[in-house]
Amino acid sequence: MFCSHCGQEKDKNANFCKSCGASVSENKSSPSSSTSQQPLSFKEYLEKKSEAGGSSSSAGSVDTSAFKNIKKRKKNERLSQIKQEKKDEIVKINIGIIELDGKRLKIKRSSLLPIDVRKSDTSILVKNAGVNKQLAHNQQLRNLEQTEWLLLYPDMDIVDKIPGSTEKFTVEKYKDELGRPYSRVNLYICNMLHFEVANDLVDDPDAETVDPVQVDTVEEYSMQGNPGKANPVQADPEEDFSVQADPEEAYSVQADPEEAYSVQADPEEADPFQADPFPIESAQIEPVQMQVEVVLSADETDLPLDQMEPDADVIVQSAQVSLLEEQFHGLDLVIHRTTLLKDMITAFSDPTILKVTIFFKVVDARGVIEEGEGRGVAREVLTEFWHLFYQSLSVGASAKVPTIRHDYQRQEWKAVARILLYGYCKEGVYPIALSAAFVACTVLGEDRVSSEVLVKSFMAYIAEDEREVVDNCLKNRSQIDKNEDLLEVLGSYKCYRIPKEENIEDILCQLAHQELIQRPRYVSNCWATILQSLKSRLPFQDMASILHFYEELKPTAKKVLKILDASPENEAQRNAFDHLVRYIKSLGGNVSAFLQFTTGADIIVEGQKLKVTFTELNGLQRRPVAHTCGPLLELPCTYQYYNELVEEFSSILREKSAWSFDIV
């Protein structure tokens, strides 16, 4: 053994070197041992681990397949548990009522109610939940005797299998098949007896037996006596009317010796409103005796009545008509604020709705029926419908025209025309944002719309920045062909002609015709037959009358101030009224919102006054209150400053979605 300092041999058991005196403890750590304590590189670590793994595997490897199977099974159990929890998740769908209408089934309007069901619920569970919900909210159903119910799809088919497949019905599968959210899944319950009657499975228990001797004379005629004279025809045992068939006589239906009425076969082409709008409450209605006739087609006027075919074109009117029942029969119509556009179009899809007076009831977003009723509610509903129409079914800036949508066909567009006709004739509400040129083309015909009116309407149709570009070019035509902004505007309407000083007016007229006449042509054709009755009214006699009519209805601050009717009695009331006048003058273009809040309509209704009264409300209770049926505005007279009134009115007009009818 040698000393690490001097290299001299030393004793193995000595503590110090005898040659240099160095401590032997320093020599005990050899270079090999110090080297073994150095950290390994990553490569050396991997090699050492592989050698250790090889030796252990050679000694006997551990089988991990059992552990992997256990891990996989646990994972599958967790997934199945999650799926089961999702299946048991509670969702909301809608349940309505299908009822018997004559011999056919019909969905009852405004009968949809939300119900809570599980995604995995079958048709029986959904039916039971729907029946319980409808019974809880429908007294008429509760009054019925014990009956069986069926669960039906919207197409009147029984809910059993998923449509188009053999899979059993569940809420989740049906929702996936529809591709809609749960909130738009609609199902219906139907009385089993009604379903069987509609499908001819049983006889109608409410049907009356008909004596074979008494047959409706529209289908069968039995004439006796002198061929030149017609015996009375019995169409109803309680109503007698005489039929005159002398071919030399002209036939007319008369309800009054001083008034003549014509009979038209198409109910949509006849004007259901024979007078200007007036309050129904003030009308004095009595049953009127009417003489009627049989109107024959041109090919059959020379035939004796006993030789006429049963299917001849014959129109028979009742001899005694109660105008109170026919013209002024009331209809309660429930409209939901959240689905107002759809509810209105569904209700007015029935042509006979123009023959009745509608009493609107509004359901707010919480599903609670609002307290308000009367003509103010009707004006509010009609005005809100047109606001939604402008957003969803029309295009244009200040002047709008209907736009085609794939989900709106002839029936829906005719319903919109009936809403326009009813709103104007019954309540004085008219959508003045509709382009005057489009309306004139629909009512009067395309040839009655001049080029000047077309261009003027087109300028209101295009956007404000586009209107500014066109106006500047018309004022300065020298560099019109080099104006890039004008070229961009024309290109947005698919016009690629080079504008010049001599052709710019022709280009604008052609574009106006394209956008206001050609594009909405389908809608115009759908509306034409219904709106033809407007031609008999003064505002729609010609193009000039229509333009004047639009100008009269357009709201301005000056016009609103003219309809105010107030009688302040003291200094506080006079100050409050002065603050109101000042505020109305400051509204500018937003005066229509003030009108809608106070009268229900956003236009100037002809002959209408806005009564202003004063209240002493103060503190948190102070607020202006509008009674749209009057219309009447209750104005607090406790405002200390003008800005206090501005703050309260501005807050009301800004939060329009929060308006509700809570006063009867």
What is 500-526 written as a DSSP string?
A: -TTTHHHHHHHHHHIIIIITTHHHHHH
Options 3.40.50, 1.10.1060, 3.10.20, 1.10.3860; CATH for 90-200 is 3.10.20
Question: Which residue stretches of 307-450 are H helix?
Answer: 323-326, 340-347, 375-392, 410-422, 436-443
Look at residue 445 in the predicted model and tell me its pLDDT. 93
Q: Same fold for the domain at 90-200 and the one at 557-658?
A: no
Query: Range with the lowest mean pLDDT among 34-38, 64-68, 424-428, 490-494?
Result: 34-38
Q: How far apart are the C-alpha atoms of 343 and 336, rounded to whole Å?
A: 7
Any idea which residue has 């809910």 for tokens?
A: 159
Look at residue 437 in the predicted model and tell me its pLDDT. 96
Look at residue 285 in the predicted model and tell me its pLDDT. 37
Look at residue 53 in the predicted model and tell me its pLDDT. 56
More reliable by pLDDT, 236 or 393: 393
Classified by CATH at the fold level, domain 557-658 comes out as Hect, E3 ligase catalytic fold (3.30.2410)
pLDDT score of 447 more than 90: yes
pLDDT score of 130 more than 60: yes
Whether the upstream peptide bond of residue 31 has omega within 30° of 0, thus cis, is: no
For residue 594, CA distances in Å to 178, 412, 610 come to 43, 31, 12
Query: Range with the lowest mean pLDDT among 53-62, 334-343, 649-658?
Result: 53-62
Question: Which of helix, strand or coil describes residue 252?
Answer: coil
| C-beta of residue 369 within 8 angstroms of C-beta of residue 362 | yes
Supply the pTM of this predicted model.
Answer: 0.54
Beta strands in 337-387, from DSSP E residues, in sequence order: 356-363
Mean pLDDT for the stretch of residues 496-504:
88
pLDDT score of 253 more than 70: no
pLDDT score of 450 more than 90: yes
Confidence tier at 6 by pLDDT (50, 70, 90): confident
Look at residue 585 in the predicted model and tell me its pLDDT. 93
The dihedral through the CA atoms of 88, 90, 91, 97 has a sign that is positive
Q: How far apart are the C-alpha atoms of 542 and 402, rounded to whole Å?
A: 22
Look at residue 23 in the predicted model and tell me its pLDDT. 75
Any idea which residue has 């799926």 for tokens?
A: 83
Residues sharing a CB contact under 8 Å with residue 620, sequence separation 6 or more, in sequence order: none
Look at residue 245 in the predicted model and tell me its pLDDT. 39
- The rounded percent of the chain whose pLDDT value lies above 70 is 73
Mean pLDDT for the stretch of residues 607-628:
88
Confidence tier at 64 by pLDDT (50, 70, 90): low
Domain boundaries, the chain: 90-200, 331-553, 557-658
More reliable by pLDDT, 266 or 411: 411
pLDDT score of 155 more than 70: yes
| C-beta of residue 72 within 8 angstroms of C-beta of residue 165 | no
pLDDT score of 662 more than 50: yes
Residues sharing a CB contact under 8 Å with residue 446, sequence separation 6 or more, in sequence order: 517
